[in-house]
Amino acid sequence: EVLAIGDAVTMCKPGDRVLSFSRHATHVKADGGRMALPVPLDADPREMVFARMAGVSMSALRSSSVHPGDTVLVIGMGLVGNFAAQIFQIAGADVMVADLSELRLEKARACRLDRAVNSGQDDLTEAVMEWTDGEGARIVVEAIGISEVIAEATLLTREHGEIILLGSPRAHGVFDATPMLLHLHLKAIRMISAYEWSWPQHPTHRARDITANYRLLIDWIATGRLRTSPLLTHLASPADCQTIYEGLTSKREEYLSAVFDWSKLP
């Protein structure tokens, strides 16, 4: 809740509930590096906090050249991939999603992502080619950050299409990159970074900005266009953070997301 306004806080007024990049604290000075945007007072805070992860996903849409009716494949149904798929669907794309986890695919379907493939059980290439009449998806989003998966995803992209790196590949990988590179070259495919922080935080004349993304996402969540409630698997006290961390990192079929309720602290 905003208690006072300094010169740097021009987007809010006293009494507003806000979404902010600020750390957890009883009081925070929201300056240029700590965005503070008002959210509807009647919105469920357990849903609105998901805007932060959806903001990462929004960069995939902003980085693409998607048009209504385009086929978009999103690989990886964690929060970032799920929100990316929902956002592309809101933009009018025909979306397919893929993951190895039945929990994540179940949650995707609950978010109206009906064309969902378990790529550990079914042949993803076959599913994509059947869906796209053998052409491949116009846009493929890799939302995991695994180099080998990026290489495989590229081969599912059609001629003059786009492969978008939403996940951030950090781990060492050893594999033959030539099929991927040859496909990129012969099919005139663009490989695009969707790194969120490459976008300006505030408006410019040359690019969309992060603040505008979050204004839009707040509205979409508040009005139900972007679904978040099916994705919450654990509501916990911050005192349970270690248990939550271990669950999120090692129990993929039980944990998808957690929201900390600070009122649960003793």
The position carrying tokens 């299409």 is 161
Residues sharing a CB contact under 8 Å with residue 110, sequence separation 6 or more, in sequence order = 227, 230
Buried b (16+ CB within 10 A) or exposed e, 14-45: eebbbbbbbeeeeeeebeeeebbbbbeeebee
Question: Rounded to the nearest 5 degrees, what angle is found at the Cα of 132, between the Cα atoms of 69 and 190?
Answer: 75
Residues sharing a CB contact under 8 Å with residue 251, sequence separation 6 or more, in sequence order = none
Pairing label, strands 157-165, 137-142: parallel
Q: Say if residue 4's pLDDT is above 50.
A: no
Q: Is the pTM here over 0.85, yes or no?
A: yes
pLDDT band at 107 (very low <50, low <70, confident <90, very high): very high
* Residue 199: per-residue pLDDT: 82
Hey, what are 10's tokens? 């021009």
How far CA 57 is from CA of 82, 132, 136, 235, 258, in Å, comes to 8, 24, 22, 22, 18
* Residue 10: per-residue pLDDT: 58
Type of residue found at 180:
M
* Residue 30: per-residue pLDDT: 67
Type of residue found at 4:
A
Residues sharing a CB contact under 8 Å with residue 153, sequence separation 6 or more, in sequence order = 73, 75, 140, 142, 163
Across the chain, what does the average pLDDT equal?
91
* Residue 6: per-residue pLDDT: 44
Q: What is the mean pLDDT of residues 132-137?
A: 98
SS (H, E, C) 143-205: CCCCHHHHHHHHCCEEEEEEEEECCCCCCCCCCCCHHHHHHHHHCCCEEEECCHHHCCCCCCC
47-91 pLDDT per residue, tens: 999 999 999 999 999 999 999 999 999 999 999 999 999 999 999
Q: Say if residue 197's pLDDT is above 80.
A: yes
Hey, what are 81's tokens? 């991939």
